[in-house]
Amino acid sequence: MQTSDFNYDLPPQFIAQSAAEPRDSSRLLVLHRDSGEIEHRIFRDLIEYLRPGDALVLNQTRVIPARLHGTKLATGGAVEIFLLERIDDLHWLAMVGGRRMFKGAQIRLTDAISAEITEEREGSQRVVRFSEPIEPQLATLGETPLPPYIHEALPDPERYQTVYARIPGSVAAPTAGLHFTPELLLTIQEKGVELIYVTLHVGPGTFQPVRAEQLEAHKLHAEYAELKPEEARRINEVKLRGGRIVAVGTTSVRTLETAAIRSAGEAGVDVCAWRPVVALAQQTDLFIRPGDRFRVVDAMITNFHLPQSTLLMLVSAFASREQIANAYEVAKRDGYRFYSLGDAMLIL
C-alpha cells in the first residue's frame, strides 16, 4: 500500500493542547467494525461495553524525564540531550541538539556532572558517556518530554503519565491509558473484568511519520516489550473461556501480537482460531499494517493518530482503512480533540 493512502487533513485547532479534567471526562468515539456504526460517548461510559470475563490489557511503562539541558564545554553554546535508550550505567543513546556535536564533544550539565559524545549515529543520534550514572539524577535535572505538537507546558507533569505507570523507560506516554482514573479501573474490576499489565517502553519513533512511499519499505524503530509468564497465562485463560482481550493502546496491541507470533514459531503455523501468547522480554519492531492478522486482540482503545503514522496504519489494520478514515472525518465534524492529549476511540 502507499503511505499517502493514510494521509488526512487536520487543521491545528483540532490538536489538543491540554488534557481533559477529570481524565475520564474525555470524549469516546465507539466504532463497531461489524456494522460500521459510530456512537458518541464519554470515556467513563467504557464500562458499558465491557463484559464480565473480559480482560483489559494496559501498558504500565512510565515516561522518564528524558530531556537534559547543558552547555558545550569549549564554547558555552546551548546543548540539549534527549535520552533514548540506556546502554549501561554511564552510556546512553540520545538525540543531541546543538552546533557541531561530533565525537569527542564535551558537555557540562552541572558543576559536578559532565558528558562526552563517544559515537556518532544516524542523524542527530549520539552515544553519550556521562561522568556518573545519570539515571538517579533525572528527577532533578531532567524534563518530561512532550510531543512536538504540544506547545503549552503541563501544570502537572504527572498528567502525562497514566495512573498505573510503574516501570520507567519511555520517552512518550502510552496515551490511550491517560483517560483512566483509579475509580474507573476499580469499577471495571468490580464488573468482573480482569486488569492485566504489560510493558512496552515507547521510543521516539512513535512521533515519526512513515517517509517511504511503500509501507513495506518502512522499518519500525525497535522498542523493549515485556509480558511476564503469569500475565501470559491469564491472557490465555481469558481466551479459552470465551472472554475478550481489550488492548489499551497500540503499544499493548504490539506487545500481545508479538507474543502470539513468537508462540507460533518461525513457521508461523496457527493451530486454532486464536493464537496463545507466550512470555517475552525482548525488543520488538512489529509493524502492523492493513492485511495483517490479529491473533489475540479482540477490541482496542486508542486515541486519534497523526497522518501517515504507523499508529494510524495499525488501527486501519484492526478495522479497515475506509472505516477509520470515515471515523476520523466524523470526529472532525463533531469537534473531537486529536493526538496525545485528545479524545479516545473504542474499536469493537
Q: Indicate the length of the chain as a whole number.
A: 348
83: nearest Cα among 70, 65, 99: 65
Where residue 186 falls (left for φ over 0; alpha for ψ -120 to 50; beta otherwise) is alpha
Task: Measure the CA–CA gap between 231 and 228, rounded to whole angstroms.
Answer: 5
Q: Is the whole model's pTM more than 0.85, yes or no?
A: yes
18-27, 107-116, 144-153, 332-341: least confidently modelled range? 144-153
pLDDT (0 to 100) of residue 213: 80
Between CA 180 and CA 171 the distance in angstroms is 20
- Residue 83: is its pLDDT beyond 80? yes
Split at pLDDT 50, 70, 90, the class of 20 is very high
Residue 266: predicted pLDDT: 45
Is the pLDDT reported for residue 207 higher than 80? no
Residue with cell 515485556: 226
Residues 6+ apart with CB under 8 A from 120: 102, 103, 126
Of the listed ranges 16-20, 221-225, 268-272, the least confidently predicted one is 268-272
Instruction: Provide the 10 A C-beta neighbour count for residue 91.
Output: 16
SS3 assignment, position 73: coil
Would you place residue 267 in the very low, low, confident or very high pLDDT band (cuts 50, 70, 90)?
Answer: very low
22: number of Cβ within 10 Å: 13
Taking a C-beta distance cutoff of 8 angstroms, is the pair 298, 289 a contact? no
Quick check: helix, strand or coil at residue 98? coil
The mean pLDDT of 240-262, rounded to a whole number, is: 96
The overall average pLDDT reported for the chain is 93
Question: Which residue shows C-alpha cell 544516524?
Answer: 122
Query: Does 204 have pLDDT greater than 50?
Result: yes
Strand (E) or helix (H) holding 70? strand 67-72
Is it the case that residue 101 has pLDDT exceeding 90?
A: yes
209 has pLDDT over 90: no
Q: Is the dihedral of CA 256, 257, 258, 261 positive or negative?
A: positive
Give the DSSP letter string of 114-161.
EEEEEEE-STTEEEEEESS--GGGHHHH-B----TT--S--SSGGGGS
Residue 318 has pLDDT above 50, yes or no: yes
Per-residue pLDDT, 272: 52
pLDDT in tens, 305-316: 999 999 999 999
What would the mean pLDDT of 220-247 be, rounded to a whole number?
A: 96
Q: Which spans in the chain are helix H?
A: 138-141, 182-190, 229-240, 250-264, 310-318, 321-333
Using a 10 angstrom Cβ sphere, with 0-12 exposed, 13-18 middle and 19 or more buried, the burial of residue 286 is: middle
The predicted structure's pLDDT at residue 206: 65
Nearest Cα neighbor of 129 from 68, 86, 97, 171 is: 86
Distance between CA atoms of residues 133 and 137, nearest Å: 8
Q: Is the pLDDT of residue 10 over 50?
A: yes
**According to the model, what pLDDT value does residue 152 have?**
82
The reported pLDDT for the residue numbered 332 is: 97
Averaged pLDDT, 269-284: 79
Predicted confidence at residue 89, as pLDDT, reads 94
pLDDT of residue 270: 52
Q: What are the phi and psi torsion angles at 59 (to 5°)?
A: -90, 115
Report all structural domains of the chain as residue ranges with CATH numbers, in order of start.
3-63+154-347 (3.40.1780.10), 67-141 (2.40.10.240)
